[in-house]
């Protein structure tokens, strides 16, 4: 199969005129020592039609033995052809680096030394192709050709300082490709002269953080790459060599530092390592004004957030370009665990009601995006100001109730129910429904003649504790009796003793009367139990205990 593929590729490169130069047209042997190309019949002055490959390109593609006499003669008679580029700018050394043809690459490198001065030799090794401006070292690194890359670095260490058209250095490409051995060779033998730069404004540290994450691209699993734990050690090595500068000044096109990427990927170990190296990197903002805490909150990475807030207790105060805290971000992206974590943090408690540039708190943001669970969690916190309005003069619940999102009907119903159950304590209600309205109405009543006034009070009027205990005792007794009646009546209905006595007309009538009374008793007792159950559920939703309202009778005598 491999022979057929090579034959097809070479035939696509050669025109019929060029094929006639090879006798036979393309001599293919087996894999056991015979050569795929007959070098004796290749015309060195001819090129293939498609890619304009010369004889050395064809020899590399055909895996010819570079130590054979025809190749050596060709090197002596046409030396410069060994470094002549094809249509794409690839020299035979580029192709050898791509394909991993180590023997041919070594011969070409040794041959370059014989062509002239040391500067000429280095220039030959530094030739770049046209499309990506890669050197032979770039190609060897990209394709994971360790031996060829090591030989090129040994011959010319300054190759590691060159970047291609995308701004990528060989070290960056090695880390990006997860070729730890090549990256270590470059870092150990050429630092500080090697370039750390990568594409899109990234550095080697960006690539190391991304590739150290276990959840990298699954397509790399089929390649001979290094495991994530080895790259953790490589990151430590880069930090030791480069210092904390590579964390502070390394911002890509998004303004992201390596810490932003570690937070985005949930790599808490890496975050801890960076904070230990330089604590101040936690306060660096990206181009949207987001810190690593904002990024972690958006992704729901709790462990990363805890590391950041433990090391930098005031990091929650930093706002992005829209004046949003991490709590705003978490509410928008429906991260329940993040909201739960932030509202429990002592350093974050006074930021719960922080408003963004539109006047929205985290509760407003949750209402705008119909995050009912987030709203429920925020409203259950006593520090949340549910009456606060944004720049449009709307509270969070007004935003929610005016929403046209019919898919959230159930969520709206629950929120409405919570409002109704919490009517006497919820600061979101209108002034007529709160203390102001009660005081106003009370003033009107005082102007009337002295009559008996009945007021429904909760905590503002002192009540004897005995009254509350009696009511609670009545509730417990009611629940016990209802349970007993329901159990007895149900048991009596399904196990009828003496069923033969009801076969007569008189017995049948007695049976019907018994079943009617039994059903009524069961229904009322079950209804009482259901009422207790409903009130228990409502207590869980409204986060309050229901009690019987107490009546205080105050008599005023007319003088």
Domain regions of the chain by residue span = 39-145, 163-214+226-321, 338-421
Considering only 305-314, 337-346, 461-470, which range has the smallest mean pLDDT?
A: 461-470
Residue 230 is predicted with a pLDDT of 66
Give residue 117's pLDDT.
67
Would the pLDDT of 46 be above 60?
A: yes
Predicted pLDDT at 373:
87
Higher pLDDT, 502 or 181: 181
- In this predicted model, which residue has the larger pLDDT, 438 or 145? 145
Topology (CATH) of 338-421: 1.25.40
Which of 20-34, 37-51, 144-158, 467-481 reaches the highest mean pLDDT?
A: 144-158
Q: How many CB atoms sit inside 10 A of residue 101's CB?
A: 23
Tens digits of residue pLDDT in 56-70 = 999 999 888 888 888
H-helix or E-strand spanning residue 2: helix 2-13
Q: Whole-angstrom Cα distance, residue 256 to residue 285?
A: 8
Decide if pLDDT at 225 tops 60: no
**Dist. CA 82–CA 93, nearest whole Å:** 8
Q: What is the pLDDT of residues 500-515, one digit of tens each?
A: 566 667 777 777 777 8
Q: Which of 78, 203, 210, 199 is nearest to 133 (CA)?
A: 199
pLDDT, average across residues 47-63: 90
pLDDT digits (tens, 9 = 90+) for 514-529: 788 888 888 887 887 7
- What does the pLDDT read at residue 444? 45
Predicted TM-score (pTM) of this structure: 0.68
Mean pLDDT computed over 311-317: 94
pLDDT of 7 higher than 70: no
What pLDDT does residue 502 have? 60
Give tens-digit pLDDT for 416-474. Answer: 555 554 444 444 433 333 333 433 444 444 444 444 333 333 333 343 444 445 556 66
Question: Would you tell me how many other CB atoms lie within 10 Å of the CB of residue 6?
Answer: 17
| pLDDT of 88 | 94
User: pLDDT at position 96, please?
Assistant: 95
Within a 10 A sphere around the Cβ of 315, how many other Cβ atoms? Answer: 20
Higher pLDDT, 21 or 258: 258
- The predicted structure's pLDDT at residue 473: 62
Q: Can you give the length of the chain in residues?
A: 559
CA 549 to chain CA centroid, Å, is 50
Share of the chain above pLDDT 70, in %: 69
Identical fold for domains 39-145 and 338-421, yes or no, is: yes
Mean pLDDT (the chain) is 77
Rounded to whole angstroms, how far apart are CA atoms 128 and 149?
Answer: 15
pLDDT at position 397 over 80:
yes
pLDDT score for 338: 96
Q: Which fold is adopted by the domain 39-145?
A: 1.25.40
What is the pLDDT averaged over residues 315-328?
Answer: 96
Domain 163-214+226-321 maps to which CATH number in 1.20.120.530, 3.90.420.10, 1.25.40.20, 3.30.360.10? 1.25.40.20
Q: What is the pLDDT of residue 483?
A: 76
Please indicate whether residue 82 or residue 439 has the higher confidence score (pLDDT).
82
| More confident position, 73 or 116 | 73
**What are the Cα distances from residue 559, in Å, to 443, 449, 450, 451, 556?**
20, 10, 9, 12, 9
- Per-residue pLDDT band for 123 (boundaries 50, 70, 90) equals confident
- Decide: 393 and 401 in contact? Cβ < 8 Å: no
Position 10 confidence tier, pLDDT thresholds 50, 70, 90: very low
pLDDT, position 113: 83
């Amino acid at each position: 199969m491999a022979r057929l593929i090579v034959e097809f590729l070479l035939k696509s490169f050669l025109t019929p005129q060029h094929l006639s130069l090879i006798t036979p047209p393309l001599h293919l042997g087996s894999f056991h020592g015979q050569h795929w190309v007959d070098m004796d019949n290749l015309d060195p002055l001819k090129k293939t039609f498609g890619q304009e490959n010369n004889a050395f390109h064809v020899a590399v593609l055909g895996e010819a033995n570079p130590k054979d006499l025809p190749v050596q003669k060709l090197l002596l008679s046409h030396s410069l052809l060994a470094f002549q580029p094809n249509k794409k700018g690839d020299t035979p050394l580029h192709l050898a680096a791509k394909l991993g043809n180590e023997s041919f690459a070594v011969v070409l490198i040794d041959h370059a030394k014989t062509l002239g001065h040391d500067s000429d030799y280095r220039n030959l090794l530094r030739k770049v192709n046209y499309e990506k401006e890669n050197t032979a070292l770039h190609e060897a690194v990209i394709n994971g050709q360790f031996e060829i890359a090591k030989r090129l670095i040994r011959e010319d260490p300054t190759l590691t300082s060159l970047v291609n058209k995308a701004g990528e250095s060989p070290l960056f490409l090695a880390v990006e490709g997860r070729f730890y051995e090549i990256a270590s060779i470059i870092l150990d033998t050429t630092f500080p002269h090697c370039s750390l730069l990568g594409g899109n404004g990234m550095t080697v540290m960006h690539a190391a953080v991304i590739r150290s994450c276990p959840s990298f691209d699954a397509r790399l699993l089929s390649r001979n790459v290094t495991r994530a734990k080895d790259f953790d050690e490589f990151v430590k090595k880069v930090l030791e060599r480069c210092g904390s500068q590579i964390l502070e000044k390394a911002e890509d096109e998004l303004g992201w530092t390596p810490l932003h990427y570690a937070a985005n990927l949930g790599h808490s170990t890496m975050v801890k390592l960076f904070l230990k190296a330089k604590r101040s990197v936690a306060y660096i903002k990206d181009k949207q004004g987001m810190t690593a805490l904002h990024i972690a909150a958006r992704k729901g990475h709790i462990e990363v957030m805890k590391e950041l807030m433990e090391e930098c207790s005031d990091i929650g105060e930093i706002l992005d370009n829209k004046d949003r805290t991490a709590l705003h971000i978490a509410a928008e992206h429906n991260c329940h665990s993040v909201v739960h974590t932030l509202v429990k943090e002592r350093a974050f408690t006074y930021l719960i009601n922080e408003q963004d540039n539109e006047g929205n708190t985290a509760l407003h943001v949750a209402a705008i995006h119909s995050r009912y669970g987030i709203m429920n969690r925020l409203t259950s916190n006593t520090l949340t100001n549910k009456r606060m309005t944004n720049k449009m003069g709307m509270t969070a619940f007004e935003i929610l109730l005016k929403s046209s999102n019919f898919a959230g009907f159930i969520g709206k119903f629950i929120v409405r129910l919570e409002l109704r159950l919490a009517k006497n304590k919820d600061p979101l209600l209108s002034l007529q429904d709160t203390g102001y309205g009660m005081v106003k109405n009370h003033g009107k009543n005082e102007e009337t003649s002295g009559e008996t006034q009945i007021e429904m009070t909760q905590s503002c009027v002192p009540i004897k504790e005995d009254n509350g205990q009696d009511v609670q005792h009545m509730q417990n007794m009611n629940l016990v009796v209802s349970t007993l009646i329901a159990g007895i009546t149900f048991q009596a209905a399904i196990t009828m003793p003496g069923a033969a006595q009801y076969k007569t007309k008189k017995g049948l009538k007695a049976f019907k009367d018994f079943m009617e009374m039994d059903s009524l008793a069961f229904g009322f007792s079950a209804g009482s139990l259901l009422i207790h159950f409903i009130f228990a559920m409502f207590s869980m939703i409204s986060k309050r205990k229901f009690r019987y309202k107490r009546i205080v009778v105050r008599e005023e005598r007319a003088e």
